[in-house]
Structure 1
């Protein structure tokens, strides 16, 4: 059955199907047709991640090394912001801890393919929208928020995506059809199914059910029970109409996608935080910049608030600007004294790793800024810094699900709101702070008092005991088993 005509037994209107064909043909005309090309794939070590979580990259071109079909698992992803890479790293980490070799399969990186060109085009549009949403409140209110919460929620949107993802399949021809495949974005999942792979898991991000994330033919996983129920029933994906639900075995609630090294050290890291709180030690704060580079204005106010605490030796500040050096330059323009006050870790991965190890074992002080042009280092630096952090300040995207005390600032897109709700209900992070004033109030409470931070740490330990943070392991298990679990 054509997956753009019928979605989980729900027939699409003729006009929706015709529009899907039209969109596909538009991209064919714009980016070319490579359906008759077979791309040879090679394997190379991921120099940044292999020492930590054993990752190897699948690259274009023939190589001496073949994919290990017995103990290999492919992590299908795209670079769109940092969130999907972050989930990919969590899946890879879990797989590696379970004795598997994770292979990194990034559709965006295959820039000469039709699929790679389409993804680059759409990623640029999404990044632009994210930045504009933070700059223009009317654009955010009347276009970006509705698009990210209700627009992407529609089943008709999935019909169009399914057609477009058919153009992404040529790069899959060289992959073994029965290789376990975990996708951390829906397009790699849809394309894998179209390409005939038989053990595909679609690891759904966020906590707001949207038809955008459906890849029929794969095993879907969600991080929360509420998200599971929304997807299971396809709730609200065609207005108020009750739709045919997903079948048994099509979807599982697995828990949060968290890296093995964070889960394995979770209790001891929280005990160290509680020890610092109890003994009035300096509190460590991690400020992360998302992959779209949005929200600089909020960061400026947060840093201005924290700097006096740093000078008084009441706080240590980590700033990870990822691969956005322009964000760091913008921060220094707004806060000139920041330039000389900060210890810089710019494109020096060894220095970054040395610092994160040091911070786990001894007292530290000052402001530490991290920038890495390499995308893997840019994202994974946050993982390394997180373990020694007492407070992480982030928007409520994928980091909202991580087991570290968090202040959640204003979202970028309506779908992120529900990540904050999840974190606040579990009790491992704050409510979403909609304004700068609310953010600074929450920061004050966590720095000047001990009550909230203590509660968050204890809640993380409790949540871990019931498996809240075991989603990455379960996604890997489902991929290994494949559709026989149905």
Structure 2
């Protein structure tokens, strides 16, 4: 069936369909059509997460060396920011804890294939848009916010993506059709369906229903009850007509996609935080720089705000800039006053892991910066740092769903707004602090009113009891057929 013409029983207009066909044709003109090509799949140990999570990374090789069995689970993903890799790591962690071998299948990394070339171009555009939205308020208001909240919401957008995803199937030919497969971005999900895979779970990010994330033929795993209703109804995806809803078999509410190491240690980690609060230890702040490297001005505000408390040994700041070394150098140039308190942990993941292990039970002081050129280490470092931190400072993207007290800074794109709403309602995070001044005020309140950290830890413990953080396990169960 042509999934660009009919989406969950809703017919796409001839005009929108012709546009989707034209978009596909443009990509063919630029990158070619490798639908008839055969790419041999080989496997290597994934960096950073290979040993602790048993992750095998699928690469294109000269011959086929992947040995799949009934305990294999493929995680289809791309790098677009850090969020989709973060969800992939959560799925891999859960799968490993459940006795499966997770295979990392990154369409973006297949540079020689059409899928890798197309996704690389789209990723560059998205990263540019994210950065521009933070630099120019008019661009953010007129272009970026509407695009991310309403543009990607349209059913016609899904029609165009479905047609483009037809060009991404060549790399799937050596995957068994019935292998359990969890996609953490819609393109790997759509491509898997077009390639004939039969056990596909589409792990949907964020908390704002958008047609962008639809992949008919897959089971849509969503993280919140409100997302379930919104996707089930295809809410707002066509302003001119009432759409037929998504059938119940196509969607499941799973809970938040969180790594096994974090979920299984929630009680211990929260107790550590509460103990530090009660013994008046320095508050440990963790600031995560997003995948697009946006929001530099807010990061500068945070560092300047915390410097007096850091000097007085009443606060500690961990900064993970991911693989954005340029952003880090800009931050140091903007706030040179932090240099006397600064410790850099760059491109040595073993040292980063060792530091986090020591910090978990030991004492720390000053400012600790982390940067890794390897994307796996760049993303997973935040996971390690969360366990030894008291408060995470983050935009309300995928980290908004994690079980740690959170200060939500300004979003990058309208689709992220409901991530902050979800955290604020559960109680494990603040509402979105939309200006640097509001962010600074919230830092003051948490730093001096430490009862907030204890309250948030209490809400995290309550949420765990109801299974809110079990989404990664449930997504795996859906893929392997244990939970219909």
TM-score category by the smaller chain? over 0.9
Aligned match of 2:343: 343
Matched, 1:356 2:362: no
Mark the runs of 5 or more structure 2 residues left unpaired by the alignment: none
C-alpha separation in 2, matches of 1:306 and 1:235: 42
CA RMSD of aligned residues (A): 1.1
For residue 338 of structure 1, report the CA deviation from its aligned partner.
Answer: 2.6
Q: Over residues 148-186 of structure 1, what are the superposed CA-to-partner deviations in whole Å (9 max), with x where a residue is unaligned?
A: 000000000000000000000000011111110000000
CA deviations 1:248-286 (Å, max 9, x no partner) are 210001000000000000011001111111111111000
Task: Report 1:303-322 matches (<5 A).
Answer: 303-322=303-322
Q: Which runs of 5+ in 1 are unaligned?
A: none
Residue 54 of structure 1: aligned partner = 54
Question: Separation in 2 of the partners of 1:149 and 1:344?
Answer: 37
Q: Distance in 2 between matches of 1:67 and 1:7?
A: 35
Q: Contact 2:47–2:377 (CA<8 Å) still a contact in 1?
A: no
- Deviation (angstroms), 1:337: 2.6
8 Å CA contact 2:258, 2:469 repeated in 1: yes
The aligned counterpart of 1:388 is 388
Q: Distance in 2 between matches of 1:335 and 1:233?
A: 48
* 1:267-308: CA deviation from partner (whole Å, max 9, x where unpaired): 110011111111111110001100000001110010001111
Q: For 1:419-430, list aligned pairs within 5 A.
A: 419-430=419-430
Aligned to 2:96: 96
Q: Distance in 1 between matches of 2:195 and 2:63?
A: 22
Q: Secondary structure at the match of 2:43?
A: strand
Cα distance in 1, alignment partners of residues 50 and 395 from structure 2 = 28
Higher mean C-alpha displacement, 469-478 vs 60-69: 60-69
Q: Any idea what the Cα deviations from partners look like across 1:308-363, whole Å, max 9, x if unmatched?
A: 11110101110001000001110011111333421110111111011000011111
C-alpha change, 1:318 and 1:63, in structure 2 (3 Å) is farther
Distance (Å, rounded) in 2 between the aligned partners of 1:361 and 1:275: 11
**Whole-Å separation in 2 of the counterparts to 1:207 and 1:154:** 16
CA distance in 2, matches of 1:416, 1:331: 24
Counterpart of 1:74 in structure 2 is: 74
CA distance in 1, matches of 2:473, 2:217: 21
TM-score (norm 1): 0.98
**How much has 1:46 moved relative to structure 2?**
1.0
Instruction: Provide the secondary structure at the position in 2 that maps to 1:38.
Output: coil
Q: Given the two structures, how large is their TM-score scaled by the length of structure 2?
A: 0.99
Hey, what does 1:446 align to over in structure 2?
A: 446
Whether contact under 8 Å (1:43, 1:63) holds in the other structure is no
Cα distance in 1 between the residues matched to 2:150 and 2:262: 33
**Aligned residue number for residue 467 of structure 2:** 467
Question: Are the equivalent residues in 2 in contact too, given 1:235–1:242 (CA < 8 A)?
Answer: no
CA contact (8 A) 2:41 2:64 kept: no
Match of 2:413 in 1: 413
Partners of 1:364 and 1:372 in 2: CA distance = 21
- Give distance in 1, aligned partners of 2:340 and 2:161: 48
Indicate if the aligned counterparts of 1:283 and 1:390 stay in contact, CA closer than 8 A. yes
Residue 240 of structure 1, CA deviation = 5.1
The residue aligned with 1:272 is 272
Q: Which residue of 1 aligns with 2:298?
A: 298
Q: Determine whether 1:176 maps to 2:160.
A: no
Q: Which residue number in structure 2 is paired with residue 223 of structure 1? A: 223
Deviation at 1:64, TM superposition (A): 7.3
CA distance in 2, matches of 1:416, 1:345: 30
CA displacement, residues 413-465 of structure 1 (integer Å, 9 cap, x when unaligned)? 00000000000000000000011111011111111112211111100000000
Q: In structure 2, what is the Cα distance between the partners aligned to 1:63 and 1:276?
A: 54
Q: Which residue of 1 aligns with 2:399?
A: 399
Paired residues in the alignment total 484
Name the SS for the 1:292 alignment partner.
Answer: coil
Q: Which has the higher mean CA deviation after the structures are superposed, 67-76 or 107-116?
A: 67-76
Whether 2:152 is the aligned partner of 1:152: answer yes
Alignment partners' CA distance in 1, 2:64 and 2:82: 31
- What's the secondary structure of 1:156's corresponding residue? helix
TM-fit CA distance, 1:63 = 5.6
Determine helix, strand or coil for the equivalent of 1:316: strand
C-alpha distance in 1, partners of 2:4/2:51? 42
SS of corresponding position for 1:104: strand
How far did 1:62 drift?
4.3
Distance in 2 between residues matched to 1:49 and 1:382, nearest whole Å: 13
Asked if 2 retains the 8 angstrom alpha-carbon contact of 1:69 and 1:176, the reply is: no
Partners of 1:26 and 1:69 in 2: how far apart?
39
Q: 2:199 corresponds to which residue?
A: 199
Q: Distance in 2 between matches of 1:254 and 1:241?
A: 29
